[in-house]
Structure 1
Amino acid sequence: MQGRQGIGMTKTFAALVTAMTMAAVPVQAQDAAALWRQMAQADSAAAMKLITDNHPGAQAELGDAAFRRRLVLADTHVRERLPQVQSFEGYSALMAGLAADFSDGHIWSRPSVAASRVRWTGILLKREGQVWRVGSVLAAARLPEVQDARLISCDGTEAEAWADARISAFVAGSPNEAQRAEAAGRLLTDDGNPFLKRPEQCEFERADGSRQTIAFHWGRSPVAVVQEQINALQKAADAGYSLTPWAGGSWIRLSGLDSDAEAVVTAVREAAAQLRDAPSVVLDLRGNGGGDSRYGDAIAAVLFGEARVETAKGRPLGCQGAYWRASPDNIAALKVQRDEMAGGNPDTAARLGEVIAGMEASAAGGESFWPHLPDCAATAALRDTQTRATLNRKVIVVTDRHCFSSCLMTVDLFRRLGALHVGEATDSSSRYMEVRTIVLPSGLRDFSTLQKVAVGLPDFGPYTPDIPYPGAMADDAALKAWVAEQVASR
C-alpha cells in the first residue's frame, strides 16, 4: 500500500536499472539486496535529517511533544525495517511508512519509479457508511457472489482492526474516515510490501445475513488495469468553478481555492443581494484540496456579513502567530523561490525577500524561529473550544473525502457560522504550513517537510457532516436532489 501519492508513477520498473546506475549512493555490495538496503538507509537518513533540521515541530522550544514522539517512532520503524529491505518493494515500503509515521498529509514520499504489475485477489473494497464493503469483483476470478457484501474479518482479525493496522503503518499514521475511504481500493492488493502479510482468506456478510468465507488466489495484473478499476470505484466529482441557480436557490461550485476561485468570488459579490434573499445557498467543495482560504472567507463575508465572519474567526487566545523555522536549508529554498518569482510576480518576490531577511537575522542571532518565538508558544493551548452557531439550514456546505489543507479552514469557518454540513467526512490537516520537497539521494523518491507553524491554532479536521450523504458523491443530479430534500425538511 502507498500513501497520498497513490499507485501512479512517472517511470515504470523497466526504467529502474537506469535509475539505479545514477543513484547517489556508493555501490559497494555485489548483491541486489545489499544495494537496496544501502539506498533505503541513505534515503531514510536524508528524510529524517530534512524533518529534524527544518520542521518547526522538531524544535524542542516549540513544545510539540506529540510531533517529537512521532519523530522517535519514525526513527524506530526505520531501524526495525531496514535489515529486512532486500528489494525495490521493501525500499519503497520503508519510505512510505516513514512518511506515514508523521500523520500529516503534507509530509509525503512520492516515487519517481514504480512497479508495472501488482498482485490482487479480484476483489476491490470500498468504504461506505463507515463500513468496509465489496466495491467490485473481477468476473474472470470466478468468485462467489459478494458484491456490496460487508467485510467481517480477514485471517481471523476483525475488519476494522485489520484495515486500520495496514493503513496506519504505510498510508496515514492515525487514519480518519476520509483516509480510510481513499485507501479502501488498495487494501486487497499486494505491491510486494515485505512488512505486510497479505490475507489468506476473508469473511463477508451479504445483505440477507448469509456469510461467505473466500480463500484468495493472488493473481498478477498490470498496475494500470487495477488502478483504472479503483478510479472507477472511487470516482471523484468533476472539477468546477461556478455560481448557478438550482431548485433550492443558488449553488456555488468551488473545487479549489486557487486562482480559478477569483471569478467565483467576483460572481458571488455581484450577486450578494440575490444570495441573501435566496431560500438556500450551497457551497459545494467536492474535490477541494486547498489553496488560499481567503477565497472562502470572502464568500462567507457575502453570505453572513463581514462582522459575523470576523467574530467567528476571532480566537481569544493571546499567544498566537505564524513563525518560520529559520534553518539554513529553509532560507536557501526560499531564496530559490524568490528568484523564480522575481520576473512574473515581483510583489510576492518582495514579500519573500522580507521573510528571508528576517530569517537570516534570527539565524545570525542564534534563534531557531522568525519572528522571535514567544515563551508562551510551548504552552499555548492547541484545542479550539469555540462553539458553532445554531444551524439554520439556509447555507449548506458540501464536502467529500478530498477536502484538505485550506479547504478545511473554509469548512471550519462555515460550520462556526451555522452552515449545515452535508456529504462525506473531510480529511485533516495540521497547524504546520509551507511545504518544501527534496529529491532523495537515490533519485527514486522525494520527501517533504513543512517550514512554518501557526502557534495558538488547533489542527483542522477531520469534520464529520451533520447529515452524511448516502450516495455517490460524483453524481451531481442525485446529490442536488438529495440536498433539496434536506432543505425542504427544515
Structure 2
Amino acid sequence: MSLLLLPLLVLAPDAVPVDPAPPRDWAAALRTDAQAMHDDIAANHPGPVNALDPDFSKRNDAGLALALTRADKVKGFAGYYYALKAYAAAFDDGHLNIRAGDDAPALQARWPGFLTGFDGEKQVVKTRADDAPVPMGAVLEGCDGKPADRLAAENVGAFEGRWFLASRRFRLGGQLFVDRGNPFVARPARCRFLVNGTPREVALAWRPIAPEALAARLHDTDQMAREPIGARTLADGTRWFTLSGFDGDPDSADAKALGPLIDAMRADRAALAAAPRIVLDLRGNNGGSSDWSAQIAAILWGQQRIEALPGATGVDWRASAGNVKTLSDFRDHVRDAPGTSDAMKRWIDATVNGVTAAHDRGEPLWRFTDPEPAKTPGKPPAPPAGPVYFITDSGCASACLDAADLWKGLGAIQVGQETSADTLYMDVRQDKLPSGLARIAVPMKVYRGRERGSNEPLHPVHPYPGDLRDTGALAEWIATLPENR
C-alpha cells in the first residue's frame, strides 16, 4: 500500500498566478526561504538519515549554497522563484519540488512567435504565429553559438530536473523559447535552423504572449491529454476507463469520480471479463494514491494474484515530528471517508502508529511491516478474456507508475508513450515557506528493494506513433494491435 498526499505535478512557471508584485526585498526573501527549504528537507526527508544515500546532505547543502550566492542577483519574483526551482531541480526527484504560492506575483511571458518541442533527440518547431521567421517542422541547430541540446539543458533542464529522461524533455521542451525573466539564463538572440535541409539563421524578436494563448501553444508542443474520469463502452465492445488522476483526498474531484466508477466496475465484473478488450487510460495522470489502482486490479485479476506478485522488500519512513503530524492529519481526513478501502484503513493506522512510536523512541527511521499479512482465501476469478491495455504518457509518475507496475505484473499491456520516472523517495508533505511566496513538497519515505529502479521509466510494448490527444484515433489503433488477433 502506498499513499501520496500530492500528485507528482509538472510545476511549470506558467502556473504562477497573475497578481501585481508588491514592494519587497527579494534577496532577503530568497535567503530566508532557501534556508527554510534546507531545514525542512533536513528535518523531514529520509535522505539525510539514509545510509544508502550518503551524499544526500551534501546535495542539500550545495543547493542552499547556490541559492544564497544567487541572492544578490535577485531583483524580483522571477529571480527568487528560479533560484528555488534550481535548488529543487538539483535533487533530480520529481517528488521534491517547488510551486508558487497563491499570493505570488505574476511572471509575464514573452516568445519569439514560435515554440519548439522534442521529436526524439531533435528539437523542431511545433507551433508558430503566422509571421514567425521559421516554418513548422524546422529543426533547431543552436542559438548564439550554443548547440540545441546544451541550450535546452541549461535554460530549461537545470530548473526542472531529470533532464536525462526522454519523457521530461518531451514534456517540457516547449519551454525553451518562453522567456519569463529568469535572470540566470541568457535569452537567445540569434538561432540557426535547418529548413528542409537548408540552414537558416534568424534574429529573434521577442514579444509578449497572454497566459491563455501560451498555454494553448505549449499544449501543441507536449500533446498532453487529460479527459474527465469516467467509463464507457465503445461500438466494438471495448470497455474504456479514463483514469486521469488518483488524488487520494476524499474531497478531491478525482476521489468523488473514482469511488462510484470502481463500485460500478465491481458490480459489472462478469461483463468486464467477457469484453473483447479493456483499456485503462492513464493519460494526464500524475499520481495520487495507489489504493485506486490496487482496487481496480483486485476487480480485474483478483486479490490473490496481487498477493502473489513480488513487491518492495520494505519501506522506511522518516520519523520526524512534522511527518507524524502530516500523517495523523491525513488519517483523520481520509480514514472514514467514502471509498476508502479496508486495506487503506489498515495501512494508514499502522503507519501513523509506527512512525509515532519510532519518533517517541528517538529513532530516525521506521520500517513499515504489513499489519495483516494473511492471504486472501480461495481461488482468484478467471482473468479477463481479452487483452487489457493501459495507456501512459510522458507525465505518468508516482502512483501512476505504481499502477503501471502492478497492472503490468498482472499481464496488462502498456501502450502510448514512455512514462516519467521517480526516485525511491515517495509520499510527500507540503509546507509553505516563510514568505508565503512558495510551497515546498518533501518526500517522507524511501522504498527498499523496489523492482523498478530509481528514476527508471517504463517503456510501452506498443509506442503510439500519433497525437495522444486524438482519443478516437488512439482507440482505433489499439483495436489493431496483435494481442487482439
The question of a shared fold, defined as TM-score above 0.5 by the shorter chain, is answered with yes
Pairing partner for 1:45 from 35, 40, 50: 35
Deviation at 1:335, TM superposition (A): 4.6
2:89 pairs with 1:100: yes
Residue 282 to residue 351, structure 1, CA distance change in 2 (3 Å): closer
- Matches of 1:93 and 1:128 in 2, distance apart? 26
1:124 aligned partner:
115
1:481 aligned partner:
476
2:370 pairs with 1:370: no
- Structure 1 contact 394–487 (Cα < 8 Å) conserved: no
2:47 pairs with 1:57: yes
1:215-226 correspondence to structure 2 within 5 Å:
215-226=203-214
Residue 68 to residue 218, structure 1, CA distance change in 2 (3 Å): same
2:466 pairs with 1:471: yes
- Structure 1 contact 321–455 (Cα < 8 Å) conserved: yes
| Segment drifting more, 212-221 vs 37-46 | 212-221
- Structure 2 contact 141–193 (Cα < 8 Å) conserved: yes
- Structure 1 contact 362–370 (Cα < 8 Å) conserved: yes
1:422 aligned partner:
415
- Structure 1 contact 167–175 (Cα < 8 Å) conserved: no
1:4 aligned partner:
10
2:173 pairs with 1:184: yes
Residue 486 to residue 214, structure 1, CA distance change in 2 (3 Å): farther
| Structure 1 letter corresponding to 2:128 | V
- Matches of 1:269 and 1:489 in 2, distance apart? 24
- Structure 1 contact 9–114 (Cα < 8 Å) conserved: no
Please give the secondary structure, in 1, of the residue aligned with 2:124: strand
1:86-485 correspondence to structure 2 within 5 Å:
86-112=75-101, 113-139=104-130, 142-206=131-195, 208-231=196-219, 233=221, 234-247=223-236, 249-257=238-246, 258-259=254-255, 260-311=257-308, 313-315=309-311, 320-337=313-330, 355-371=351-367, 394-457=387-450, 458-459=453-454, 461-485=456-480
- Structure 1 contact 398–423 (Cα < 8 Å) conserved: yes
Residue 358 to residue 250, structure 1, CA distance change in 2 (3 Å): closer
Deviation at 1:97, TM superposition (A): 0.9
Query: For residues 413-452 of structure 1, what are the alpha-carbon distances to aligned partners after superposition, in whole Å with 9 as ceiling and x for unaligned?
Result: 2333443321112111223233111111111111121212
TM-score (norm 2): 0.81
Please give the secondary structure, in 1, of the residue aligned with 2:401: helix
Please give the secondary structure, in 2, of the residue aligned with 1:115: coil
1:31 aligned partner:
none
- Structure 1 contact 13–116 (Cα < 8 Å) conserved: no
- Matches of 1:310 and 1:356 in 2, distance apart? 23
- Structure 1 contact 120–188 (Cα < 8 Å) conserved: yes
Query: For residues 224-275 of structure 1, what are the alpha-carbon distances to aligned partners after superposition, in whole Å with 9 as ceiling and x for unaligned?
Result: 4423432455452322321423537332322223432233333333443444
| Structure 1 letter corresponding to 2:119 | E
Please give the secondary structure, in 2, of the residue aligned with 1:198: coil
Please give the secondary structure, in 1, of the residue aligned with 2:118: strand
- Structure 2 contact 288–398 (Cα < 8 Å) conserved: yes
Residue 184 to residue 321, structure 1, CA distance change in 2 (3 Å): same
Please give the secondary structure, in 2, of the residue aligned with 1:470: coil
- Matches of 2:337 and 2:302 in 1, distance apart? 35
Deviation at 1:190, TM superposition (A): 1.3
- Matches of 2:234 and 2:209 in 1, distance apart? 45
- Matches of 2:271 and 2:225 in 1, distance apart? 30
| Structure 2 letter corresponding to 1:4 | V
Query: For residues 153-189 of structure 1, what are the alpha-carbon distances to aligned partners after superposition, in whole Å with 9 as ceiling and x for unaligned?
Result: 2333332232123333101244422222221222101
| Structure 2: tracts of 5 or more residues without a match | 1-8, 247-253, 370-384
Residue 156 to residue 483, structure 1, CA distance change in 2 (3 Å): farther
- Matches of 2:447 and 2:64 in 1, distance apart? 25
- Matches of 1:353 and 1:489 in 2, distance apart? 43
- Structure 1 contact 7–223 (Cα < 8 Å) conserved: no
- Matches of 1:130 and 1:241 in 2, distance apart? 35
Query: For residues 69-123 of structure 1, what are the alpha-carbon distances to aligned partners after superposition, in whole Å with 9 as ceiling and x for unaligned?
Result: 5324423432442343233221111011111112222222111313252222111
Residue 393 to residue 123, structure 1, CA distance change in 2 (3 Å): farther
| Structure 1 letter corresponding to 2:361 | G
Q: Percent identity?
A: 32
- Matches of 2:317 and 2:70 in 1, distance apart? 33
- Matches of 1:295 and 1:51 in 2, distance apart? 29
Pairing partner for 1:14 from 6, 20, 23: 20
Residue 179 to residue 372, structure 1, CA distance change in 2 (3 Å): closer
| Structure 1: tracts of 5 or more residues without a match | 21-34, 374-391
Deviation at 1:336, TM superposition (A): 4.5
Please give the secondary structure, in 1, of the residue aligned with 2:151: helix
| Structure 1 letter corresponding to 2:44 | N
- Matches of 2:65 and 2:31 in 1, distance apart? 13
- Structure 1 contact 397–411 (Cα < 8 Å) conserved: yes
- Matches of 1:125 and 1:475 in 2, distance apart? 21
- Matches of 1:358 and 1:417 in 2, distance apart? 30
Please give the secondary structure, in 2, of the residue aligned with 1:415: helix
Deviation at 1:144, TM superposition (A): 3.1
Query: How many residue pairs are counted as aligned between the two chains?
Result: 446
Residue 68 to residue 168, structure 1, CA distance change in 2 (3 Å): farther
| Segment drifting more, 476-485 vs 222-231 | 222-231
Residue 246 to residue 101, structure 1, CA distance change in 2 (3 Å): farther
Deviation at 1:460, TM superposition (A): 6.4
Deviation at 1:473, TM superposition (A): 1.0
Residue 130 to residue 236, structure 1, CA distance change in 2 (3 Å): farther
Please give the secondary structure, in 2, of the residue aligned with 1:95: helix
TM-score (norm 1): 0.81
- Structure 1 contact 409–460 (Cα < 8 Å) conserved: no
